[in-house]
């Protein structure tokens, strides 16, 4: 799971950097919120989680790890696609999607934190 997360995270890295690059060229920062969270919740957070799961495989082998994996990986695209749609159209109807995705990520992160605190041991 660690390696899979690192591979997923570089896809977010590429997308996040492309958005930043295009925003700089066209001088339109409408999508700054998308750029920031794809880079930070996608690239940095998932890479760090991937490295932690790789170093401590027991964390990846339990239900907490599995739920974190799926909540984060389903929640982030839902949040980012909804946020992009909301920012580009100014239609607040997309807020629901942002909230659903963000809540999934939040629950995933809480499970991850609990897993680390409870099960991370040097052995």
Residue whose CB is less far from ligand HEM, 42 or 65? 42
Binding part of the chain for ligand HEM, among 3-11, 19-27, 53-61, 65-73 by CB under 6 A, reads: 19-27
- 49 or 60, CB closer to ligand HEM? 49
Phi then psi dihedrals of residue 28, to 5 deg: -130, 110
How many angstroms separate the CA atoms of 96 and 92, rounded?
Answer: 8
DSSP-assigned states of every residue in 59-103: HHHSHHHHHHHHHHHHHHHHHHHHHHHHHHH--GGGHHHHHHHHH
Report the C-alpha gap between 80 and 120 in whole angstroms: 30
Which token pair is 17? 């950097």
Answer yes or no whether residue 55 interacts with ligand HEM by CB under 6 A: no
**Closer CB to ligand HEM, residue 106 or residue 122?**
106
Taking CB under 6 A as the criterion, the residue among 3, 11, 61, 106 binding ligand HEM is 106
Binding mask 83-102 toward ligand HEM (x if CB under 6 A, else -) reads -------------------x
Task: Count how many residues are written for the chain.
Answer: 123
In the three-class reduction of DSSP (H, G, I as helix; E, B as strand; rest coil), residue 120 is classed as: coil
- Chain contacts with ligand HEM (rule: CB under 6 A): 16-17, 20-21, 23-24, 29, 32-33, 35-37, 39-41, 43-45, 102, 105-106
């Amino acid at each position: 799971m660690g390696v899979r997360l690192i591979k997923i995270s570089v896809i977010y890295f590429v997308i996040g950097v492309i958005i930043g690059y295009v925003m700089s060229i066209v001088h339109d920062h409408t999508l700054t919120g998308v750029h920031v969270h794809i880079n930070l919740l996608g690239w940095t957070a998932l890479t760090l989680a991937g490295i932690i799961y790789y170093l401590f495989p027991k964390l990846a082998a339990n239900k907490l790890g599995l739920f974190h994996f799926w909540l984060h990986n389903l929640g982030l695209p839902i949040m980012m696609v909804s946020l992009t749609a909301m920012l580009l159209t100014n239609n607040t109807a997309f807020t629901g999607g942002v909230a659903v995705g963000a809540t999934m990520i939040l629950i995933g992160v809480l499970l991850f934190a609990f897993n680390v605190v409870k099960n991370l041991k040097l052995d």
